[in-house]
A and B are shown apart, each in its own frame.
Chain A
């Protein structure tokens, strides 16, 4: 595809349920990132993947949050036992990895998660 694809676009679930959010990065992008954007706020870093490895998970808010990436492509962010404070837009981005440092990160449309 031409851009980063995320699914579902919207997810409404009851408190205590588990949810899975999916990200399909731009073809050829080996770096993948998850961010969270609460209403009217900036973007908060969650986790970074280089290939299938996650060198930096420092932004995950609690052990209810986990993420994996398989085949160096699709990534899944899982939130277990959801709480109301988990309600937010979850954004995925991908980039090339270059020897010159940061490469531009390209974002998907996000998944709007609402916990009732």
Chain B
């Protein structure tokens, strides 16, 4: 079945710097890749998603890139702010509904 690996497990950056989180997936049929942000004790919130027919998508300070050949996708956060501190999860889907999640990255943005 599909497997998603996520790195790093923890990431600490200085406010204003960029942060990059990387995920790899195993099933080349995967076609949908969302990213979720989860603050402590709160619900996961969708922050950006990308489909397999697109290589890159941006939304203000957040961007996601997809390399289908290498089966990699990455989340890029620029000009990080303390409120970006949270756990970020990537996910992949090979059908129209089931998401397989990575194990999460704890991002700490130091003021």
Contact = CB atoms under 8 A, between A and B. Distances in A.
Contact of B98 (A41, A45, A108, A109): A45
A15 interface: no
B49 A43 contact: no
A105 to B, nearest CB: 7
A97 B46 CA distance: 17
Specify the main secondary structure of chain A where it touches its partner: strand
B69 interface: no
Contacts, number: 59
Nearest to A44: B101
Given A91-B44, A109-B43, A56 B97 contact: yes
A78 to B, nearest CB: 21
B51 interface: yes
- Taking residues whose C-beta sits less than 8 angstroms from the other chain, chain B's interface range is 20 to 34
The main secondary structure of chain B at its interface with chain A is: strand
19 contacts: A4-B43, A33-B97, A41-B104, A42-B103, A42-B104, A43-B44, A43-B101, A48-B97, A48-B98, A50-B97, A101-B96, A102-B96, A104-B34, A104-B49, A105-B34, A106-B46, A108-B43, A109-B43, A110-B43
Nearest to A95: B97
Contacts of B51: 101-102
A91 B104 CA distance: 16
Nearest to B103: A42
Interface of A: 4, 31, 33, 35, 40-45, 48, 50, 56, 91, 95, 97, 101-102, 104-110
B99 interface: yes
A71 B45 CA distance: 26
B44 A107 contact: yes
A43 B32 contact: no
